Chain A
Amino acid sequence: MSFKNPLEGIEEKFEMIQILDEDGQIVDEDNVPDLTDDDLVELMRRMVYTRVLDQRSIALNRQGRLGFYAPTAGQEASQLGSHFAMEKEDFLLPAYRDVPQLIFHGLPLYQAFLFSRGHYHGNQMPEDVNAVSPQIIIGAQITQAAGVAYGFKHNGKKNVALTYTGDGGASQGDFYEGINFAGAYKAPAIFVVQNNQFAISVPVEKQSAAKTIAQKAAAAGVPGYLVDGMDVLAVYKVVKEARDRAVNGEGPTLIETMTYRYGPHTMAGDDPTRYRTDDMDDKWEKRDPLVRFRKYLEGKDLWSEEKENEIVETAKEEIKEAIKKADQQDKQKVTDLMSIMYDELPQNLEEQMEEYKEKESK
């Protein structure tokens, strides 16, 4: 080729944004987000709470007391730092690993457990929670986020749609379609790709020739940012700015958070030792989001072991209570499911309803 390769030097355009390094030191003073001490403590509380919830969920799953569960440890900064930039009225479209964001958006914990167990009440967002339940089809939520955002813009609301997918999701056609639609309509959407390095077992290098996922936004004419997903301050800051841009009518943003899941893909038999090495696990655990943020807060006299223990105990207690409440939920009936298929029962379901009422009364 006698012409210059346009991809030459593209890495420089998508350098990873970091504010807090692995040792808890601020490396980008100018970009430290404008958060109060209470905010900083709340962010840490959420991350600690979520780490405990993850440990307990794995244990409960092994005891057969939970169903489908996708572990979250390692991704707390990526998940909770991004969600922390949202307002209550903003709309959340999570993927299946994004249950913590839903909980902090208002989904009661016992309902999150019912979702895991496969009870429809777990998918039933309370009236004041602007969210859909976790998406199972990889990427389907991305085009929907564009639609929610179109709706906000159309109705003159100063809100955003925030959606999540992973590095695998960035290979789906819907990924490009969603970002492209939002870009074309300048719709207030934020697309977060949590690049945890593996789509189940397939490493990110095998997903694409693109050096970053962030750069995929460029094809749609949308800004894309690569962020250290283990740095809660950087994740928060970039998402907050994306939100400000969106509500100011400046359109959508794609954000790639570089992160890692310590556990398996889900608790349904995935064995990460088949595709990851101990060295790799160690390398990422050294970058742990809780460790570095704890150091940072301790340096500011905002955190102590005592405080952390208190949060751990509270979390354990709340989890216990939520499981109890989930146990008390009425058993799910096939006739319940029939009644949520349509606004009005069609003739075929009306007949089947009678049949199943009879079956369920026995």
Chain B
Amino acid sequence: MAQMTMIQAITNALHTELKNDENVLVFGEDVGQNGGVFRATEGLQEEFGEERVFDTPLAESGIIGLAVGMSTQNLRPVPEIQFFGFVYEAMDAVSGQAARMRYRSGGRWHAPMTIRSPFGGGVHTPELHADSLEGLMAQQPGLKVVIPSNPYDAKGLLIQSIRDNDPVIFLEHMKLYRSFREEVPEEEYSIDLGKANVKREGSDITFVAYGAMVHAALKAADELKEEGIEAEVIDLRTVAPVDIDTIIESVEKTNRAVVIQEAQKQAGIAASIVSEIQERAILHLEAPVLRVAAPDTVYPFSEAEEVWLPNHKDIVEKAKQSINF
């Protein structure tokens, strides 16, 4: 076992799959000699050569279109979108093409690609670097959307994403890249997609979160414990498809839920989960299912992001609102 940051765990996962499967190709802007702007691909070109780990011209639509074409030639592309806000440039290639490859060919072709990309607020980036666009991706049938909250999960989920035979959007929260280290096995392991993880057990209220918000939810749970409130914290890990069974099982036990996302409130992952809960467990509920989310503006210019981003205090407040309903 080694202590790894999330970015190191991601590099380790890429290394594992490049070694395991000669059809895996890693490419994108600056991923070659430079090792990626966050060093996610550090040392990989040197070890696996320019044929398998390489720089692309600076064009996001071209990068994903290239990956779609490669998919027909028995290759397993792992393209990087340098920052996820840039995916707007590639929306047809992602949603119009990659996501529909299996469907539109009647199963003759498929697109086993994993699109990796950094996203997430709190690190003072310029515009269109930090946006949480997972809701937009999750709305597209044919895609899977995975968001790890820690180094251990990042490695296991990325390995599983690369092995998956359908396109996976793998979103890496920038704030989590180097914020902490934890034990990550050097050997390979995988974590199933579409399976949530109960991070903390509790009997009074369920928190459903993913990505950086898992840490806010855990912090809120610690604070509530001091007041005698036991919160259960579910880390979704995959936001499309959502592990609804784990959520419902928890809500049937706690009878209350708060769904938390860093993204804006309108539409989105949390809204969909709230609907699922009330469709499946309304008679178990003691209070309305509440949401913690960002306001419905464009992602803020960075000086305003501290106030704009949801935090553990917002979660504590909503939890109390639910308990006192």
Contacts and interface: CB of A to CB of B under 8 A. Distances in A.
Contacts of A148: 69-70, 72-73
Interface stretch (A264-272, A300-308, A335-343): A335-343
Contact of A151 (B57, B73, B109, B241): B73
A346 B144 CA distance: 10
Interface string B66-96: 1111111111010000000000000011001
Given A124-B108, A341-B103, A347-B241, A140 B73 contact: no
B107 interface: yes
A155 B106 CA distance: 25
Interface in A313-331: none
Contacts of A91: 72
Contacts of B252: none
B107 A124 contact: yes
A133 B105 contact: yes
Contact of A140 (B59, B97, B107): B97
A135 B245 CA distance: 38
B106 A342 contact: no
B226 interface: no
A142 interface: yes
A342 B164 CA distance: 10
Contacts of B71: 147
Interface string B240-263: 011111000000000000000000
Contacts, number: 138
Nearest to B55: A184
Contacts of A143: 61-62, 64-66, 68-69, 93
A171 interface: no
Contact of B245 (A93, A154, A347): A347
B302 interface: no
A181 B102 contact: no
A357 B107 CA distance: 20
Interface in A105-160: 120-121, 123-125, 127, 130, 132-133, 137, 140, 142-152, 154-155
Interface string A256-296: 00000000000000000000000000000000000000000
A151 B194 contact: no
Nearest to B100: A341
Interface stretch (A28-36, A48-56, A172-180, A209-217): A172-180
Contact of B65 (A120, A130, A133, A146): A146
Contacts of B109: 125, 132
Interface size class of A (residues with CB under 8 A): 35 or more
Contact of B75 (A130, A145, A154): A154
Interface string B7-33: 000000000000000000100000000
Nearest to A340: B107
A2 interface: no
Contacts of B320: none
Contacts of A5: none
Nearest to A173: B61
B165 interface: yes
Interface size class of B (residues with CB under 8 A): 35 or more
Contacts of B107: 124, 340
B103 A155 contact: no
A272 B236 CA distance: 54
Contact of A150 (B70, B92, B93, B242): B70
A347 B276 CA distance: 12
B67 A147 contact: yes
A137 B92 contact: yes
B211 to A, nearest CB: 20
Given A137-B92, A174-B62, A343-B166, A132 B105 contact: yes
A178 B244 CA distance: 40
| Residue of A91, A127, A174 most packed against chain B (CB within 10 A) | A174
B62 A177 contact: yes
B226 to A, nearest CB: 36
Contacts of A340: 102-103, 106-107
A348 interface: yes
B110 interface: yes
| Residue of B57, B64, B102 most packed against chain A (CB within 10 A) | B57
A161 interface: yes
A343 B164 contact: yes
Given A132-B105, A147-B66, A180 B57 contact: yes
Interface of B: 25, 51, 56-57, 59, 61-62, 64-75, 77, 92-93, 96-97, 102-110, 141-142, 144, 164-166, 194, 241-245
Interface of A: 91, 93, 120-121, 123-125, 127, 130, 132-133, 137, 140, 142-152, 154-155, 161, 173-174, 177-178, 180-181, 184, 337, 340-343, 346-348
Given A144-B97, A347-B243, 12 more contacts: A120-B106, A121-B106, A146-B69, A147-B66, A147-B70, A151-B73, A151-B74, A152-B73, A173-B61, A177-B65, A347-B242, A347-B245
28 contacts: A123-B106, A124-B105, A132-B105, A133-B105, A140-B65, A142-B65, A143-B61, A143-B66, A143-B68, A146-B66, A146-B69, A147-B71, A151-B69, A151-B74, A161-B69, A173-B59, A174-B61, A174-B65, A174-B93, A177-B62, A178-B62, A180-B57, A180-B62, A340-B107, A341-B141, A346-B144, A347-B242, A347-B244
Nearest first, the 6 closest Cβ-Cβ pairs linking A and B are A147-B69, A143-B65, A151-B73, A124-B106, A177-B62, A346-B241
